[in-house]
């Protein structure tokens, strides 16, 4: 495969064929993110993407899962996305799941009919980085989308039967806003009802604006115990009426949680309370990674 730069994909796409449809992220301004800083955003030529699909067919034969990279492949026009999905299915008729990253604004630019057309053409799931449900934190991290826009984007995808997997980042409000971050992220999940929620824990990388804030002391990182207290607040405030798979088992997390909401909410909250009582169960800082 001909990959340009470092390739990022969600943990659950570890076994997927990754096809680069765009290079970089069209937003590329979140203060905590270093992923695509070395890339200038562009949409790849369709013929190049098609060649990659054909090369993958020759190399691997059958493929069950395909993930369209980089940052937000959903920013393509529906016409291009439908052509891409059609060619993907023609080359890999056996494919069971096609997914991509997407931003809430990508979704809001599309009509309900366009989203439904993408679902019918085979787009199964979109990964969305909400990061926080708190409006002030979203502004501070320069997310480029408001709480309401993120909620609407997720709800419209789910309505079109395209599953969503929404990521939040523990600790993103720092010491100053950790309660707001926990509570408002929980209520946001309740309002948007995604199929999946993934919770990572903030790790500040050197080449980011947030690193400078930490260095200057204007942003104070949470202790591992405060992260757990924040997660407890988040869970406490999730009230969903349909199944939502909750995962907090990323390499950056101090403690792994996994369950289906709403039925496993009490069990997961009790696990966190136990962890808060016995600090020893938390992952050592040395073993955390992004
Ligand atoms: S967090 Fe997502 S939207 Fe923000 S800059 Fe990074 S890749 Fe782009």
Tell me the average pLDDT of the chain. Answer: 95
| Tally of domains in the chain | 1
Q: Which of 38, 129, 165, 167 to mutate to test the pocket of ligand 1 (most atoms within 8 A of CB)?
A: 129
Q: Would the pLDDT of 289 be above 90? A: no
* Centre of ligand 1 from the C-alpha of residue 148, in Å: 18
Is residue 1 included in any domain, yes or no?
A: no
The domain that holds 208 is classified in CATH as: 3.20.20.70
- How many Cα atoms are found within 13 Å in the side-chain-facing hemisphere of 287? 7
168 lies in a domain?
yes
Is residue 71 in contact with ligand 1, taking CB distance under 6 Å?
A: yes
Q: Is 129 in the pocket of ligand 1 (CB under 6 A)?
A: yes
Q: State the distance from the centre of ligand 1 to the C-alpha of 100, rounded, in angstroms.
A: 14
Is pLDDT of 280 > 80?
no
Whose tokens are 């955390």? That residue is 288
Short-list 151, 148, 153, 182, CA closest to 168: 182
What is the Å distance from ligand 1's center to 30 Cα?
6
d(CA 275, CA 157): 35
CB contact set of 209 (below 8 Å; sequence gap of 6+): 31, 142
Is 25 close to ligand 1, i.e. is its CB under 6 Å away?
Answer: yes
Give the model confidence (pLDDT) of 138-150 as tens digits. Answer: 999 999 999 999 9
Question: Per residue, what are the HEC states of the chain?
Answer: CCCCCCCCCCHHHCCCEEEECEECCCCCCCCCCCCCCCCCCEECCHHHHHHHHHHHHHHHCCCCEEEEECCCHHHCCHHHHHHHHHHHHHHCCCCCEEEEECCHHHHHCCCHHHHHHHHHHCEEEEEEEEECCCHHHHHHCCCCCCHHHHHHHHHHHHHCCCEEEEEEEECCCCCCCHHHHHHHHHHHHHHHCCCEEEEEECCCCCCCHHHHHHHHCCCCCCCHHHHHHHHHHHHHCCCCCCCEEEEECCCCCCCCEEEEECCCHHHHHHHHHHHHHCHHHCCCHHHCCC
Residue 5 inside a domain? The answer is no
Tell whether 6 is covered by a domain.
Answer: no
Predicted TM-score (pTM) of this structure: 0.95
Model confidence at 153, pLDDT cuts 50, 70, 90, reads: very high
* Residue found under tokens 């806003």: 177
Each residue's pLDDT tens digit, 34-92:
999 888 999 999 999 999 999 999 999 999 999 999 988 999 999 999 999 999 999 99
- Residue 141: what are its φ and ψ, rounded to 5°? -90, 0
- Looking at the predicted structure, is the pLDDT value of residue 279 above 80? no
Structure-token pair, residue 57: 């067919």
Q: Which atom of ligand 1 is nearest to the CA of 27?
A: 8
Give the CA distances from residue 207 to residues 48, 120, 201, 203, in Å, rounded to whole numbers and listed in that order: 31, 40, 18, 12
Determine, yes or no, domain membership for 199.
yes
Residue-level pLDDT at 148: 98
d(CA 27, CA 207): 17
Position 129 in a domain: yes
Q: Residue 281: what pLDDT?
A: 82
Determine, yes or no, domain membership for 204.
Answer: yes
pLDDT over 70, % of the chain: 100
Give the Cα separation of 86 and 81 in Å (integer): 8
> Is 22 inside a domain boundary?
yes
Mean pLDDT of 170-197: 97
Q: Are strands 163-170 and 42-43 parallel, antiparallel or unpaired?
A: unpaired
Task: Determine if ligand 1 sits within 6 Å of the CB of residue 28.
Answer: yes
Q: What percent of the chain has pLDDT over 90?
A: 89
Helix axes 265-277, 224-236, angle to 10 degrees: 160
Which pLDDT value is given to residue 115? 98
The range of the structural domain enclosing residue 253 comes to 11-287
Q: Is the pLDDT of residue 187 over 90?
A: yes
Q: What is the pLDDT of residues 250-273, one digit of tens each?
A: 889 999 999 999 999 999 999 999
Nearest residue to 199 (alpha-carbon basis) of 10, 3, 4, 7: 10
Q: How many angstroms separate the CA atoms of 110 and 112, rounded?
A: 7
- Give the pLDDT of residue 241: 95
């Amino acid at each position: 495969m001909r990959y340009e730069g470092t390739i990022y994909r969600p943990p659950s796409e570890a076994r997927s064929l990754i096809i680069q449809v765009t290079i970089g992220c069209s937003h590329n301004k979140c203060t905590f993110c270093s992923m695509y800083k070395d890339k200038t955003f562009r949409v790849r030529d369709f013929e190049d993407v098609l060649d990659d699909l054909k090369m993958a067919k020759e190399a691997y034969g059958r493929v069950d899962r395909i993930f369209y990279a980089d940052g937000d492949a959903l920013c393509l026009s529906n016409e291009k996305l439908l052509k891409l999905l059609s060619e993907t299915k023609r080359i890999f008729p056996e494919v069971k799941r096609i997914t991509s990253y997407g931003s809430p604004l990508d979704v809001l630019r599309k009509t309900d009919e366009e989203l439904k057309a993408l679902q019918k053409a085979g787009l199964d799931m979109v990964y969305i980085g909400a990061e926080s449900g708190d409006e002030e934190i979203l502004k501070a991290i320069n997310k480029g989308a408001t709480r309401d826009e993120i909620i609407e984007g997720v709800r419209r995808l789910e309505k079109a039967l395209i599953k969503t997997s929404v990521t939040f980042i523990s600790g993103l409000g720092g010491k100053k806003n950790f309660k707001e971050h926990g509570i408002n992220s929980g209520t946001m999940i309740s309002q948007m009802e995604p199929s999946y929620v993934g919770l990572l824990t903030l790790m500040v990388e050197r080449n980011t604006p947030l690193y400078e804030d930490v260095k200057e002391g204007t942003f104070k990182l949470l202790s591992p115990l405060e992260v757990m207290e924040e997660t407890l607040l988040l869970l406490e405030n999730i009230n969903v009426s349909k199944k939502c798979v909750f995962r907090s088992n990323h390499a950056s997390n101090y403690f792994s949680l996994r369950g289906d909401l709403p039925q496993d909410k009490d069990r997961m909250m009790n696990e966190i309370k136990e962890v808060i009582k016995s600090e020893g169960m938390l992952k050592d800082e040395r073993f955390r990674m992004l």
